[in-house]
Structure 1
Amino acid sequence: MTDDVRVGPLDLAAHVDEALAVQAVAFGLGADEVGVRRHIVLRHMTNPGARALGATTPDGRLAGFVYGMPNDRAHWWSTVVEPYLRRYDRDGWLDDSFVITELHVHPDFQARGVGRALITTITDGAAEPRSILSAIDIESPARALYRSLGYTDLAQQVLFPSAPRPYAVMGARLPLRRRARPGDGPAPSGTDFRPPPPPG
C-alpha cells in the first residue's frame, strides 16, 4: 500500500457524510441514494460487533473505508441471499461469518493497495472463521481483488430489490490470503468448495 495512507479505526457514525462522499464517487451514487444509505449505515453501526476502518491521508482526508459485522440471518441482506445460497447447499455460510458490508476507495487512491489493506485488516480482527460479502456480478477490479484474497463465488445472479444489476455472494476462510512474497510457499486456497455452475 502507498506510504501516504494510514489504515486505522474509524468512528463511522461521526464520519458518515465523509465516508458516503467517498462511496458516492467510487460507486456513482446520487444525492437521494446517499440519503438512504446514510440511515442504513447509522443503523448498521448500532449492531453488536459492527466495526469500521478508514484509510486516511496525512492531511486527514478519507481515501477509503470498510465496515462489517458478524452476520445475522435475521438481517435484511441475509434474508435476500439465503435462498440463492440454499440452492447450492451453501446457506451455512450465513452462520459464523463476518460480513463485509461496504468497502469503497476513492478513485484517486484505487489500484494502490488501499482496498486490500482495509479488508485484510478488518477481517484479521474478526472472531469468526470465515467472511462473506456481495459484489456486482461482473468481472470488475473489486471482484478480482476479492478472488486474490481467497473469496470464491457462493452464488451468482443474486437480485436485490431496487438494485439495477445482479450481485454475486462470495465467501472466504479467514485469515484472508496474502500476496505471495519471494521464498513463500504456495498460497493457501482460502476456500474448500467449487464455485456454482452458471445459472440456467
Structure 2
Amino acid sequence: MEDVSLTIRRLSPQEFALNAGPLVDIYISAMGYDPAIRDGRVYSWQREIIRPGFTALIAEDASGVLAVAYGFIGTPDSWWDRQLRLALQKRGGATEVEQEILRSYFEVAEIHVLPRMQGHGLGRELLKQLLWNAPGKWALLSTPEVPGESNRAFSLYRSMGFTDLVRHHQYPGDERPFAILKTQLPLS
C-alpha cells in the first residue's frame, strides 16, 4: 500500500537555498519550462533568501517533495516590483488604491505543485499557510493567462479571493502573457 501521509513544512532560508535545485525542478515541471533555464533559476532562487520576510514551504510525502511555495515582502528594489510598476505605468499609472498596495504587499514569488499531484488541495494548503500572518496588507502573485481562466491555478486564486490588478502583462523572457492578481490580507 502506498504511503499517503503528507506534510507541509517550513524551510529555513538556508535549507531552501541548499535544496533550490530540486525545488526549481518542480517549478520547471509545473510551468512547462525548458530545463535549460534550471541553473539560472536556481541561482535566482538562492539569492532571494535575503529578501525581507522571506518564507518558504514545501509539501512532501515518503516519495519526496511534491510542491513548493515561497514569498517575501515586496520592495521597489526587486525585479518583480519593477515589472509591476512598469505594467501599471503602461496602463496609465497607479491609482491611489494601487499606490497603497505597492506600499504594503507580500509577494507570492512562486507556488508550484508537481503535475501528477495537482488537484488534490496542495496548492490551496501551501497558499493558506504561506499567507497566514504574512507581513503586508495585500498579497500579490502572477500567473500565466489562459483562455477563460480555465485552469487549476486561476480556479484556486479566484476561490481564495484574488482579483485582477493587471492583465496580459508580458515579462521579459517569457512569450506568454501573465495576470497579476491581488487579495487583501489576512485571507478571509
- What's the TM-score bracket when you normalise by the shorter of the two chains? 0.7 to 0.9
Structure 1 ranges of 4+ moved more than 6 A: none
Gaps of 5+ in 1: 178-200
TM-score where L is the length of structure 1? 0.82
Q: CA deviation at 1:175?
A: 2.2
- Output the CA distance in 2 between the equivalents of 1:127 and 1:30: 33
- 1:189 matched residue in structure 2: none
Please provide the CA RMSD for this pair: 1.5
Moved more, 130-139 or 88-97: 88-97
Deviations 1:101-140 (A, max 9, x none): 0000011211000000001101103121210011112212
Q: CA deviation at 1:63?
A: 0.6
Contact 1:73/1:95, CA 8 A, preserved across alignment: no
Contact 1:25/1:107, CA 8 A, preserved across alignment: yes
Identity of aligned residues (%): 27
2:86 is aligned with 1:83: yes
- Output the CA distance in 2 between the equivalents of 1:152 and 1:172: 6
Structure with the larger helix share: 2
Moved more, 59-68 or 111-120: 59-68
- 2:119 matched residue in structure 1: 111
Gaps of 5+ in 2: none
Write the letter of the residue equivalent to 2:7: R
TM-score where L is the length of structure 2? 0.86
Q: CA deviation at 1:67?
A: 0.4
Aligned residues: 174
Q: CA deviation at 1:60?
A: 5.5
Write the letter of the residue equivalent to 2:127: I
- Output the CA distance in 2 between the equivalents of 1:20 and 1:112: 21
Q: 1:91 to 1:167 in 2, by over 3 A?
A: farther
Q: CA deviation at 1:45?
A: 1.2
Q: CA deviation at 1:71?
A: 0.3
Q: 2:58 aligns with which of 35, 54, 77?
A: 54
